[in-house]
Amino acid sequence: MNIAFQKVAVIGAGAMGRGIAQIAAQAGSQVFLYDTQAEASQKALAAVHQVWDSLLAKGRLDTETVGKYKAQLHTANQLQDLQKCNLIVEAIVERLDIKKSLFIELENLVEETTVLVTNTSSLSVTAIAAALKRPSQFAGYHFFNPVPLMKVVEVIAGLKTSPDVCVRLTEFAKQMGHTPVQANDTPGFIVNHAGRGYGTEALRIVSEGVADFATIDRILKDQVGFKLGPFELFDLTALDVSHPVMESIYNQYYQEPRYRPSVITAQRLAGGVVGKKVGEGFYQYLDGKAIVAPDQAVPDVKEFPPVWVSPRASRRLELLQLLKDLGATIETGASPSPHALTLVAPLGFDVTTVAVVERLDPARTIGIDMLFDDAATKRRVLATNPATRSDMRDAAHALFAKDGKAVSVVRDSGGFITQRVVANIVNIASDMCQQGVCSPKDLDVAVTLGLGYPVGPLALGDKLGPTNVLEVLFNLQTVYGDPRYRPSPWLRRRGAIGLSLLHTED
């Protein structure tokens, strides 16, 4: 196989640099690992050797292959040792001034045909290249930790990057066993940009007192299928990493409301409560395991009231069948009797607004989130309003838990929890396509591989129905009056004519 880059240098011996050096050597390149601290380079080399030795011991590599890999990985003592490299990958501290200084020095050392790339996750590729004499030979090449396991790499074209450079980088990513996705030079590129809706909306929900951290995590895992809840994810990545990225993208987009950070993470970062690595974040950790409060206990209810379902409820027929299966007594009148538990299932609106608009007794009104098909979820979510009686709350909780499915009861919120988070994810992804950040296909591939979402944001929007997502957003905007929820033209137009969000005009 003709390797896209025969000689590769990796600058920075941290976890990211080690990972890139490992997969480049495995692809067949001669790889030179350099760090300003010589000891760091040697430790990184030993760490990669240990990985290969471990795979050998497990029978996943043979002796000949391990020997070949080791022969292709070297350390460099000084920058001058990298003069003959075809590709130099920078994986150092996220500071624009330091990166620019390094690349200016490198450009004066290497040949004119050498490709220089940065592994930055949030800085502008164009800004880093601005002081270079050959910006056409410069690009972004963003890997994710741990590099050998996270099989996606963003190939980012700066304003003056040669298309041929991106072609070669794309081919090399494939040779390293990774999936390349093409991105234009915009804040956060694809993965970090698309991921804004998950954590920031969850933080906003917490700030309104709708539910606690653990409840929100449980709901989003059990209703949507996320592997980690947003607060588990924050604790894993650590706020000293994730909060600056939130601020960076928000400020680079000139305070775009969709990306607004939260005072909650700013305060916790200031207090050093940054996550699992320090034993305390949104959860407390004991021996590396999170201490999680138990789920809400199901109330003991001896006698259930009859149930009346709003004619405007989303998935009303499914909801009525569910109630029948649970053994509820269902009222079919035009309005509820004075003793009935009143159920509403809005999209985007809060329970309070629906109760007022439909002239229902708020003391007996409970909301249920029916955005997803109940059969496809592991948890049901109910919402009270400020006037809901405790006996009605408990009756609803116990009724919907009758078949053993988990139930969470939260306080009133436009769009419950799942609707808010999912609609923001889909909306941000749609607007990225509108901006031309990347293709719809690359966006969904990057997010599923880079963030571990159960399905790409655009495919998720198609699954739920773009018109339903639009309804959630329009109603959230009405409830909160916040431009954060304004629908992207990409979503609005495709929703209006029934077109897939993954559709492109090309």
- Helix H, strand E, coil C: the string for 77-111 is CCHHHHCCCCEEEECCCCCHHHHHHHHHHHHCCCC
3-state secondary structure of 331: strand
Q: Give the whole-angstrom CA distance, residue 88 versus residue 110.
A: 9
Whether the predicted pLDDT of 323 surpasses 90: yes
Candidate list 86, 122, 124, 192, residue with the active-site label = 192
Considering the chain, what is the average pLDDT of its residues?
96
pLDDT tens digits for range 335-381: 999 999 999 999 999 999 999 999 999 999 999 999 999 999 999 99
State yes or no: is 142 an active-site residue. yes
Q: Is 385 a catalytic residue?
A: no
Residue 383 CA to residue 353 CA, distance in Å, equals 13
Tens-digit pLDDT profile for residues 421-472: 999 999 999 999 999 999 999 999 999 999 999 999 999 999 999 999 999 9
* Residue 442, pLDDT score: 97
pLDDT for residue 411 is more than 80: yes
Which two three-digit tokens encode residue 156?
């980012």
Instruction: Indicate which residue of 41, 86, 119, 121 is catalytic.
Output: 121
Strand 365-368 with 330-331, pairing: unpaired
Residue 470 and residue 492 in contact, taking contact as beta carbons nearer than 8 Å: yes
Catalytic residue among 90, 107, 142, 488: 142
The question of whether 154 is a catalytic residue gets the answer yes
**Model confidence over 160-205: pLDDT tens digits?**
999 999 999 999 999 999 999 999 999 999 999 999 999 999 999 9
- Whether 192 is catalytic is yes
Question: What's the chain's Rg over C-alpha atoms?
Answer: 26
> Which pLDDT belongs to residue 506?
57
107, 154, 201, 471: the catalytic one is 154
Q: Tell me how far apart the alpha carbons of residues 139 and 145 are, in angstroms, rounded to a whole number.
A: 19
